[in-house]
Amino acid sequence: MRRAAFVVTVVCAALAVVMADCSSSQQERAKSDVNDAFIAAQIHTKLVAIDPATVSLVTVDVAQGVVTLGGQVHSKQERDKVDEAARSVSGVKRVDDRLAVNPKAPTANEIADDVTLQAKVKAALAAQTGVNALKVTVSVHAGVVALEGTYATPALHEVILETTRGVAGVRRVDDHLRQESPVRSTPVTSAQR
């Protein structure tokens, strides 16, 4: 607790020193930016209470106290709760609601399941000899695994696909992988010898 108070004190002191060299308009702008960030943080906190998935599905932008909500929610009721949460934060001047209602938007449990499945696929690929996990990007949505990146040989491509399909919970694999361009060696001429 004391360390947090010390950090806050140091940050405030540094901000005061920096702001002392700023014009009054720059100081006002900096103060507005800090207030906007604080408002956004408070709104995000309130969104977690509505549904943890909402935080990952809704964007919150704040500029001079004007809140713009984007992204998607499951229902009109959830949209109303998000609007109400944003309006309830002190310092909010206006809310521009650009939320789309999408009954198929993922829930918190679905997002957690996707993250878990993604980790399992990545671990399975990493366990395979010859699979460079850094060249394969794995994303998951509702049990559908999308693979992007490159592979060196057709045999390695098959290993990647079969390994991914073999992970429990994978419903389908969308293969967006492409073969690396072969490295061509240049012939050595007599002048280079």
Position 111 scores a pLDDT of 84
- Considering the domain 108-179 in this protein, what is its CATH number? 3.30.1340
pLDDT at 5 over 60: no
Residues of the chain with CATH 3.30.300: 22-101
Average pLDDT in the 112-119 region? 91
Helices vs strands, H then E, count in the chain: 6, 7
Position 74 scores a pLDDT of 86
Q: What is the C-alpha separation between 127 and 119, in angstroms, rounded? A: 12
Position 109 scores a pLDDT of 81
Q: 129 pairs with which residues across the strands?
A: none
- Comparison of pLDDT for 143 and 32, the residue scoring more: 143
Contacts of 109 (CB under 8 A, 6+ apart): none
Tallying the residues shown for the chain, one arrives at 193
pLDDT band for position 60 (50/70/90)? very high
Strands across the sheet containing 136-141: 136-141, 144-151, 172-179
Position 1 scores a pLDDT of 46
Is CATH 3.30.300 what the domain over 22-101 is classified as, yes or no?
A: yes
Least confident of 17-26, 38-47, 109-118, 164-173: 17-26
- Comparison of pLDDT for 101 and 55, the residue scoring more: 101
State whether residue 175 is helix, strand or coil: strand
Least confident of 44-53, 128-137, 152-161: 128-137
- Comparison of pLDDT for 122 and 52, the residue scoring more: 122
pLDDT at 137 over 70: yes
